[in-house]
Amino acid sequence: MRILKTVFLSALASAALLSAAACGASAPAPVQTPVSPAAPASPSAPSYLDTVSEIVMCYLPNEGSEEYNESRGFLHEDLGDYLGIEVTEINAADYNAVVEAMRTKKADLASYGPVSYVQAHDRSNAEALVLVAPEGNKSLTGYTSLIITLPDSPVKTLADLEGKSFAYVDPASTSGNYVPTLEFMNAFPGKTNEDFHTNGAFFSSVTFSGKHQNSVYAVINGDVDAAAVASDTLRAMLLNGEVSEDQYAVIHESAKIPTSPLAIRGDLPQDLKDKIKEFFLGYQNDEYFSAIYGLSPNEKPRFIEADDSDYDYVRELMEKVMPPQ
């Protein structure tokens, strides 16, 4: 049985620090998965099997949550069998840590948000590999940034947020920071990015929760008046029974954001990159897609090819929120 090793990753502003954590046995492999096992290459053909013995996947705090261990374990088991090498994971303490993990070659595959992918592409030689699409149709992809409050809150509009406490997710979160910040800048002309991130400037207090699930619970538990969360994460929480719709109210929703990609380190052997992409494009596991992406079996979610140009909109968004100096 393949062993799934989980390592928790912490980060400083300038570098990621990795530390080993506990090991646990992975769950049995699901039924519908790619069936072509890795075969030894002929003596005349170079193969990744000659130089690579392990692939490390790194997850954002949202996907790396303990409650999703089993679903991630399915994927690691299947991918390892398909490649003929071990697959392990590291879970990042924040978004920058995922970028740094690939830059320092501690991670080979990584789950990114759109903004952190752009940062990793620029800093860590990350290449967009695949993304998840209902029915395998890219036109059906995308998610939104939601501003949520309690159902009985006096906060009903963006204007009502002034003087209230607010939670973002992470400085590098697309739907949990960049998009809501731009929404606020558009709604309140003359206000700057800094105004919306300084205690007392617009909000009474501002905090970063670390992950979308934390922001949802911060609102439900009354720790903050409102928070920005990703629609797909909230949907997954609903689908998995972690929260119910009567526990929160949505007061604002952004335009659609490009779906988050899975990216691969660009300097890996080409035959390995091709084999990994082949695996994901054929992967089918309803439990995995439900837990990690909040997509039900009826939506027929599948991995499809991602392209760097899919995130040009995000580059424009980043320049609007934080103009180059």
Q: What token pair was written down for 267?
A: 């300097």
Domains in the chain (CATH in brackets) are 3-140+258-321 (3.40.190.10), 145-253 (3.40.190.10)
Do 209 and 216 contact (CB within 8 A), yes or no?
no
Average pLDDT, stretch 34-41?
Answer: 54
CA–CA–CA angle 155, 156, 157 (5° rounding): 105
With vertex at residue 273, the alpha carbon angle to CA 47 and CA 120, rounded to the nearest 5 degrees, is: 135
pLDDT category of residue 44 using cuts at 50, 70 and 90: low
Question: What's the pLDDT score for residue 293?
Answer: 85
**Model confidence pLDDT, tens digit, residues 262-280:** 999 999 999 999 999 999 9
Summarize pLDDT for 135-153 with one digit per residue, the tens.
999 999 999 999 999 999 9
pLDDT band at 204 (very low <50, low <70, confident <90, very high): very high
* Mean pLDDT on 194-202: 97
* Listed range (210-214, 281-285, 294-298) with the worst mean pLDDT: 294-298
Question: Residue 32 pLDDT > 80, yes or no?
Answer: no
pLDDT-derived band at 21, boundaries 50, 70, 90? very low
As a whole number of angstroms, the distance between CA 53 and CA 85 comes to 5
286 is written with which tokens?
């309803």
Least confident of 69-83, 130-144, 269-283: 69-83
* pLDDT reading at 62 higher than 60: yes
Give the chain's largest Cα–Cα span.
71
**pLDDT of 10 strictly over 50:** no
Residue 190, number of CB atoms within 10 A of its CB:
6
- By the 8 A CB rule, do 56 and 109 touch? yes
pTM score, two decimals? 0.81
| Alpha carbon distance 242, 233 (integer Å) | 11
User: How sure is the predictor about 59, in pLDDT bands with cuts at 50, 70 and 90?
Assistant: very high
Strand partners, 143: 257
Whole-number mean pLDDT of the chain?
A: 87
At 38, is the pLDDT very low, low, confident or very high (cuts 50, 70, 90)?
Answer: low
Cα separation, 217 vs 195, in Å, equals 25
Query: Which one has a higher pLDDT value, 63 or 13?
Result: 63
Instruction: Give residue 310's pLDDT.
Output: 95
pLDDT at 98 over 90: yes
pLDDT tens digits for 225-260? Answer: 999 999 999 999 998 899 999 999 999 999 999 999
Structure confidence at residue 303 (pLDDT): 97
